[in-house]
Chain A
């Protein structure tokens, strides 16, 4: 049994009177991806936000281990890579300045991030405020992979991307899952996606 893995069990979350997640469970192992599908409002983003540690579930258990380490929520939050529509960067800074800032916070070299930007053909001297929505999505990918996380949490990862953009990010995902010891991913999308290495599916539509 590989020691790096994500398990979650009976995760529940409500917003006021509305119960969005009513006990969902799943697990992912290295080299595999969990595909979460369901219509709008079925709780895909809520689940990913709970897994990322930026929303606390009302109940249930989320366990993430990296190697021999059992990571608590504070560490998990800083280790994972997260792509989501609600992720924004500083609009008054350029793409390069944003990436450098987050590289300093994460205490890593920004080189890999710039390489991703180069592969996705995103100009680095442009102000983030002046980026189109597809360009923002590319920046989200570069930001999420910057510190080479083992676990990727992808919420509608290919939205707003044109054909080359989707091709580039799909290649990044394939490398992430395939290279070295193998990364993990949880991918949320309203419709099913054709992705190799999807090892499990979770349909939140009831």
Chain B
């Protein structure tokens, strides 16, 4: 399984790329072929959001499940990956916004919320960098991550009132209807699934690497 998963993932993502460019039709109301970026932008934003929540869950597990190092490591790696995918989502979004809305940055509520989440990720990582003792680093970072998830929902709640959105309707809109061409839906769904698995695979690799590095440091002494 460990050996075949990367190959399966590679095949799956290749299929998604082919599907995004040759199988899915262009969306109506989008300039040129710009709608194709959606198949990558949306999953990236989703993974960033997912990683943020996962990081908070692992932080909570660290605090309530007997302070195990592996939970702290999982939280930190999750937030690092969330930052990576968040930056990718911001860049792909900005490229698309340049074509559709005429400017890279438009203070769209979702753009802004994502930017602030990135600031939060950066602050979390800065905090980890500023504490030497692993036990202290773990508990301070966990507390900060949890404070972050308590506070950030307010942004998503408040921002839409301040600036009107240019963003296309969410994939699943208010009526709960899946308002999209079938073939586009299939590719988007496949891509989101691929990115989520990619996240877990990268997460697992990075956690194992960190654990090995920690053990190596202990043995060297």
A residues near B (Cβ < 8 Å) are 14-19, 56, 58
Q: Is the CB of B133 within 8 A of A17?
A: no
Q: Is the CB of B221 within 8 A of A18?
A: yes
Q: Is the CB of A14 within 8 A of B135?
A: no
B217 within 8 A of partner (CB): yes
Q: How many residues on B have C-beta within 8 angstroms of the other chain's C-beta atoms?
A: 8
Bound-state Cα–Cα, A58 to B135, Å: 8
Q: Is the CB of A16 within 8 A of B135?
A: no
Bound-state Cα–Cα, A167 to B221, Å: 43
Residue of B nearest to A19 (CB): B221
Q: Is the CB of A17 within 8 A of B135?
A: no
Q: What distance in Å separates the Cβ of B67 from its nearest Cβ neighbour in chain A?
A: 8
Q: What distance in Å separates the Cβ of A135 from its nearest Cβ neighbour in chain B?
A: 32
A18, A19, A56: the one contacting B135 at CB < 8 Å is A56
Bound-state Cα–Cα, A58 to B217, Å: 15
Residue of B nearest to A55 (CB): B135
B218 within 8 A of partner (CB): yes
Q: What distance in Å separates the Cβ of B70 from its nearest Cβ neighbour in chain A?
A: 14
B169 within 8 A of partner (CB): no
Bound-state Cα–Cα, A56 to B138, Å: 12
B residues near A (Cβ < 8 Å) are 67, 132-133, 135, 217-218, 220-221
Residue of A nearest to B135 (CB): A56
Contact partners of A56 in chain B: CB under 8 A: 67, 135
Bound-state Cα–Cα, A17 to B213, Å: 12
The 6 nearest A-B residue pairs measured at CB? A56-B135, A17-B221, A17-B217, A19-B221, A17-B220, A16-B132
Q: Could you jot down 15 A-B contacts, CB within 8 Å?
A: A14-B218, A15-B133, A16-B132, A16-B133, A16-B217, A17-B217, A17-B218, A17-B220, A17-B221, A18-B221, A19-B218, A19-B221, A56-B67, A56-B135, A58-B135
Contact partners of B133 in chain A: CB under 8 A: 15-16
Bound-state Cα–Cα, A14 to B134, Å: 10
Bound-state Cα–Cα, A123 to B135, Å: 40
Contact partners of A15 in chain B: CB under 8 A: 133
Q: What distance in Å separates the Cβ of A58 from its nearest Cβ neighbour in chain B?
A: 8
Residue of A nearest to B217 (CB): A17
Bound-state Cα–Cα, A16 to B67, Å: 18
Residue of B nearest to A13 (CB): B135
Residue of B nearest to A14 (CB): B218
Bound-state Cα–Cα, A181 to B194, Å: 68
Contact partners of A14 in chain B: CB under 8 A: 218
Contact partners of A16 in chain B: CB under 8 A: 132-133, 217
Contact partners of A18 in chain B: CB under 8 A: 221
Bound-state Cα–Cα, A176 to B107, Å: 68
Contact partners of B132 in chain A: CB under 8 A: 16
Q: What distance in Å separates the Cβ of A43 from its nearest Cβ neighbour in chain B?
A: 14
Residue of B nearest to A16 (CB): B132
Q: What distance in Å separates the Cβ of B216 from its nearest Cβ neighbour in chain A?
A: 10
